[in-house]
Every structure is written in structure tokens, then in C-alpha cells.
Amino acid sequence: MDSLTITRPDDWHLHLRDGDMLRAVLPETARHFGRAIIMPNLVPPVVTAADAAAYRERIMIALPEGSDFTPLMTLYLTEGTDPDDLAAAYESGLITAVKLYPAGATTNSDSGVRNFENAMPVLERMAAIGCPLCVHGEVTDPSVDIFDREAVFIDKILDPLRTRLPDLKITMEHVTTKDGIDYIASGKNIAGTITTHHLIINRNHILVGGIKPHYYCLPVAKRETHRLALRTAATSGDPRYFLGTDSAPHIDPLKENACGCAGCFTATNTMSCLAHVFEEDGALDKLEGFASLHGSAWYGVAPNAGKITLTKQSDPVRYPAKISTADGDVTVFDPGFPLYWSVT
């Protein structure tokens, strides 16, 4: 097969930042994707309906002329979130979901939840109205090894939460372990997003032969056995797994320093990367489900009306190595192999 036409994909986990960075990176997603769930971890975070409305307006202003991309907004869950404000935002269609960051888990997560008991009134309200909870599934206990944080989160936080609130619809975002894949497969009312980069890199890519800061992300890439479990799930056709790139831009000086920021910027070449992965695993026929259909079904919206075509060419596709912003360059994710699938 050297050509594949699929429903225009969606990205169910995306960081756009704000200001000059937003204006620089938004076209990279809008080029191929119809919609994306927009992460709310700005500084300050998007915590109220008014915050979400204002951020959505800034995104719409930054869109390239003629673009029909739709941002799907979220609220940042805090221990002080107003259940009435959240419910009104969800029921009006302003927001699509609410994001849970355990405090300190990743970039700009300091305002996240520390005591889950304090967030229970909001979570109970969400369960009652059907508002999905998007979860960054890692504990932040410094005594827990960073490579075990997802598995411990499932045992200590996620499973008890689901037992207490079985009607709460949960998206376990950027799953990185076989533990996460198996947990989703064994449960109800839970689904998981898988990133482009976690399908391609394991922890050796970050550490072997010198530290590679542009492969450093949170949750951090795990052992090869976990990467293979992610690929099996993504290419299986199981509707509980779908694309959420977690594309996360940082300018190079913030990545390439003694305390580099976490995040891989994959918006530019994700669809070419995915076509390579799915072809390699003999599952090109499953790519449309993973990238275009499963997520929309989970969130209860119709698939995009448009189509994109992936064409395999004889020479590698030329993608820019960096995206320029007013504050500096952002390095585009390098999968480590040539990409032959172009997108039109």
C-alpha cells in the first residue's frame, strides 16, 4: 500500500502554550488535525469558565486564515475548583473535559491536586453530569522511582477513585506502561491516550550515548517491553486507545540546560511518524481508528467530515528541524529514522 485516505484526525492531548509560542506552534497542529483537546497548564492555569473562554478566544485569533481547526477546552482541576462554575462550563459546551495534575507531576503543575479528598466534591459533580476527567497518571512522592510512578498511581490513586466513583468517565492520558494498558483493558468507563513519541522511543533513547534532552518527557519513556505494549494496544483496533500526542513545545534553551524542561514537540510530523509505525506493525488499516475515530466516539462527538491522504514516497519527507518563535527555536521531534509518508 502506498496511499491511504482516512478521516481527518484529532489530537486528544495537546499543549499550545500562549502568546508568541501559541502563534508559532498552532499552525503545525491545524494543518492536519480537525480538533484537539487543549491542556490548561498555563501560568496562571485555566481554572474557571472565564479563563477557558478567554484562552479559546486567543487560540481562535492565532489560527491561520482559512483554518477550520476547533480547540476543545479544558479546566485545570484544583482543590478550590467551583463545582457550579465547572458544571456550567461543561453543560454550555465551553469545555470538553477537566484535567487532573497531581501537584508537581509535570510542567506548570504546581497548582494541581495534593489532597484528593479536597477535590471529591468536584469529582462527584463531574460524575453526575458526565464530564470526563483527563488524568496525568503519576504519583509525585519523591520516594517512588520515576519509572514506577504510573504503576503506583494506578494502585494508590486511580483504582480507589474509580471504586469510589464508578460513573466518573476517565481518560488516562499518555499511557507509558504495560501496567496502564492492562488496567484500561480490564476496566469499564476508562480509556487511554497514547503519544506518538512513546510509540517510538524507550528510555535508552534518552540516556544511551549521552543525555538527549529533546527525548526527555513526562511521563518519562520506559523500558522496551512497555513501548512494545503501547504499540500492540495502539495498532490493535481496540477503541479504548487513541491518539493524544502530548505535543509540548519548549524553546531550545529551556530543553538544553542543566534542568531541562519535559516535553517532545511532535505536532509537525506526527501523522508521518504514525504511518511508519502502523506500517511497520502491519496495521495501516487500524490507523484511522486510532487517529480519527476512537477518540471522537469516546468523547461523544461526530468524526471530522474532512479527509487527509497519506502517500508513501520514494524519498524521505522533508520536515523542518526547528520551528522559529519570537523567543527562540523549538526542536521538532526526530524519530531517529527517515519518514516516507507525506500528508495532503
What residues are paired with 7 via a beta bridge? 307
What's 32's DSSP letter? T
Q: Which of 187, 265, 176 is nearest to 228 (CA)?
A: 176
Closest by CA position to 304, among listed 36, 27, 61, 28: 36
Residue 301 in grid coordinates: 462527538
C-alpha grid cell, residue 87: 458544571
Q: Does the annotation count 246 as an active-site position?
A: yes
**Length in residues, the chain:** 344
Is the preceding omega at residue 71 within 30 degrees of 0, hence cis? no
Which residue, 247, 279, 282, is CA-closest to 264? Answer: 247
Q: Which residues pair with 73 in a beta bridge?
A: 95
**At CA 126, angle to CA 72 and CA 138, rounded to 5?**
75
Asked if residues 114 and 83 have their Cβ atoms less than 8 Å apart, the reply is: no
Candidates 246, 285, 315, 334; catalytic one = 246
Distance from C-alpha of 175 to C-alpha of 332, rounded to nearest angstrom:
21
Strands 170-172 and 341-343: unpaired
- The residues assigned a catalytic role are 246
